[in-house]
Chains A and B, each alone.
Chain A
Amino acid sequence: MRILVVEDERTMGELLKKGLEEEQHSVCIAVDGLGGLDHAEGEEFDVIVLDVMLPGIDGFEFARRLRAGKNYTPILMLTARDDVSDIAQGLDTGVDDYLTKPFSFVELLARLRAVSRRGNAPRPLTLQTGDLILDPLSRQVSRQGCEVHLTATEFKLLELLMRRAGRVVPRDVIVGAVWGNLDDIEESTLDVFISLLRNKVDKNAESKLIHTVRGVGYMVRESQ
């Protein structure tokens, strides 16, 4: 594998390079965030090993900028802080996995193999269909750049449809996922919520994104 190691401590970087090269990987080292970003964007790597504490821009910012540039090279973050908020922040900015220092080299190798299997297929942090964007982290929805305010149920419904964008989602699947398998949900409830959702999402837009598939269910899809 071709691996980029972004690590500001030269000794540690050299050691990782030596160890990884002995496992027949090819390793490139960057000693700060901006330099690492240049490498990551200019060359193709199978995986990036990223230290969080870096001079210049830190690991979180590195990941955020890389993902913002639609580069989905898998990232394994190394952190000396095991604070849950740090780990959550890393994962939410687009890091794929993390290891806390001190780590086992064997585990590092295994995790590198694991995250590299994800490949560089797009794994955006937000769901997007046309100009409709849904952010599962901040729970915000926007259409054509304008924020759309949804109730909890409407959000659940839209997220379900957007995660299956381009595919028809059968009525019973939607009802089961959004309301649970409650017996007292009437057939028309789903239609009521779909029309509420359409009012907020589709009404003021030129193209409609929520489509009815008669007799089957609903679908979110960009209009051709």
Chain B
Amino acid sequence: MNMRYFGSRPVAIKVRLAGWYFVLMVIAMSALSALALAGLEHSIRSTVDEQLVERVKLIQKIMLAAPASQSELETELRESFTPDSREELIQISDEQGNRVFQSTWLQNRTLLSAESTAKVQRKRYPFFKTKIDGVPFHGMIATVNVGRHSYTVRVAQNMDDFAEAISRFRHLLLAVVPALLVAASLGGYWISRRALAPVDEITRAAQRISGTNLSSRLAVPDSGDELARLAETLNAMLERIDLGVKQIAQFTADASHELRTPITLMRTRVELALRRPRSAEENQQTIEQLYSEVVRTSELVERLMMLARADSGASLMRMEDVEIVVLVQDVLAQTSVLALQKHLELKAQLNISTLWVRGDARYLRQLFMILIDNAVKYTPSPGIITVSLDACNGFARVSFSDTGIGIEDEDLKNIFNRFYRADKARSRETGGAGLGLAIGRWIAESHHGTLTAESKSGVGSNFLVTLPMENNHTFAPALMR
């Protein structure tokens, strides 16, 4: 089970942070206390050690300078030290173990047994600890040679006061450390709560933003930190979602409007035809009108579905090597009858014999059809439509120019937008829903190419398709088709 969970309830980050903080503080404070105690003890002992060494040195000095007589030495030592003291003890004995000089308090007490003395003398540092009548002492043993005689000097320092100090320090730590821990933990909780408060704020704001209310944004804290970045990132994401949803809503609204219009027409036409008996001639006419309306509506549905699929982002193209000179000739042959009906001249300037691009022939054919269809629609008779093809900088360029009515500058910016009609009334009659150029541009861009327009109102328009050329094509089956 995940440690973040107690039972099934997740624990808030701020509590977890405070918990970790508490654990770290316990470890840090315990270590600090232990170090402080050890350091204090060490410092006391080394001070005492130094004093002991000094004392031994002094004794040695006195003994070496000592007069031969025992009593004179004793007097000398008595003057230098206070033998009645119970704090600083001295005991000097000769080779036979006879006590030559000692503190008064040691008269009937032993500072250190001969056995222990021997043990200490073998050690590298001749210091020892002992207890006399329950009182702790820290001592040192040294050997002083005076003439032929060798004396054992033992000095010791009463450690009672120091032990008392250490014990008091330990009690202090025991009282202060837990209090500090509690204060630090509360502080830690407060800090993590404060640091995470913007997260709660962002969460609440994000909860308020629903699918129908995508226009509102999160407040970005002006701290410039990670949380500000998080809020900014979320806002940017919301922006994209909002835009996408709006585009979908707009497309749906436009598409349903475009579909409702012809369907209304057909429904009313049928209803009227059925309201009373009609002559066969009248019915024939109604059916013919309905037929052309149905054809136009199904074309519209086809285009809408193509745009919807394009929006879904799924790749619809089956890319292969396509020879577009043949393709353009094919489209021209197919559309020449349209031009002929309107008494327009359809000219081809194919300056190149073969030109290969990578693409989907069905979609490219549709792109060219859309452009010729538009040229025919918007060119009055007598007029000329010229389709030319050449290659330039690795791009195949197919241009469609006409001597038609042209496009106003302000419309030129919008003609590639969906459902845009430069002139609503006329376009409706020519049957367009303003989708052809939007689809055309989508096809060109899906081939990593472009579709652009230039126009002069009253003079004519020129649409240019560029498609990246395929230089090292293999003779794929596409040629055979």
Contact = CB atoms under 8 A, between A and B. Distances in A.
A106 B263 CA distance: 16
A102 interface: yes
Given A80-B260, A81-B257, A105 B268 contact: yes
A103 B264 contact: yes
A101 interface: yes
A19 B268 contact: yes
A80 B424 contact: no
A97 interface: no
A9 B427 CA distance: 10
B454 to A, nearest CB: 26
Interface of B is mostly: helix
Contacts of A83: 253
B264 A101 contact: yes
Given A53-B257, A81-B257, A83-B253, A8 B425 contact: yes
B267 interface: yes
Contacts of A18: 272
B271 interface: yes
B314 to A, nearest CB: 29
Contacts of A8: 424-425, 428
B265 A15 contact: yes
A212 B7 CA distance: 73
B261 interface: yes
Interface in A4-27: 8-12, 15-16, 18-19, 22
A106 B261 contact: no
Given A80-B261, A101-B261, A55 B425 contact: yes
Interface string A77-93: 00011010000000000
Nearest to B258: A80
Contacts of B257: 53, 80-81
Contacts, number: 59
Interface in A33-58: 53, 55
Nearest to A99: B264
B275 interface: yes
Interface in B422-454: 424-425, 428-429
B268 A9 contact: no
22 contacts: A8-B425, A9-B428, A10-B429, A12-B261, A12-B264, A15-B265, A19-B272, A19-B275, A22-B275, A22-B276, A55-B425, A80-B264, A81-B256, A81-B257, A101-B260, A101-B261, A101-B264, A102-B268, A103-B267, A104-B267, A105-B268, A105-B271
A106 B274 CA distance: 12
A31 interface: yes
Contacts of A10: 425, 429
A55 to B, nearest CB: 5
Given A80-B256, A102-B264, 9 more contacts: A11-B265, A15-B268, A19-B272, A55-B425, A81-B256, A83-B253, A101-B264, A102-B260, A105-B268
The 6 residue pairs across chains A and B that have the minimum distance between CB atoms: A102-B264, A101-B264, A80-B260, A105-B271, A80-B257, A102-B267
Contacts of B229: none
Interface residues of B, number: 19
Contacts of B275: 19, 22, 105
Interface string B245-284: 0000000010011001101110111011001100000000
B253 A105 contact: no
A106 B268 CA distance: 10
A151 B141 CA distance: 103
A177 B260 CA distance: 44
A196 B65 CA distance: 120
Q: Most chain-B CB neighbours within 10 Å: which of A8, A18, A31, A105?
A: A105
A103 B261 CA distance: 11
Contacts of B424: 8, 55
A205 to B, nearest CB: 43
Contacts of A19: 268, 271-272, 275
Contact of B253 (A31, A81, A104): A81
Nearest to A101: B264
A103 B271 CA distance: 10
Nearest to A53: B257
Nearest to B257: A80
Nearest to B276: A22
Nearest to B428: A9
Contacts of A53: 257
A10 B260 CA distance: 16
Contact of B261 (A9, A31, A104): A9
Contacts of A80: 256-257, 260-261, 264
A105 to B, nearest CB: 4
Contacts of B276: 22
A102 B260 CA distance: 6
Interface string B398-433: 000000000000000000000000001100110000
A138 to B, nearest CB: 23
Nearest to A82: B256
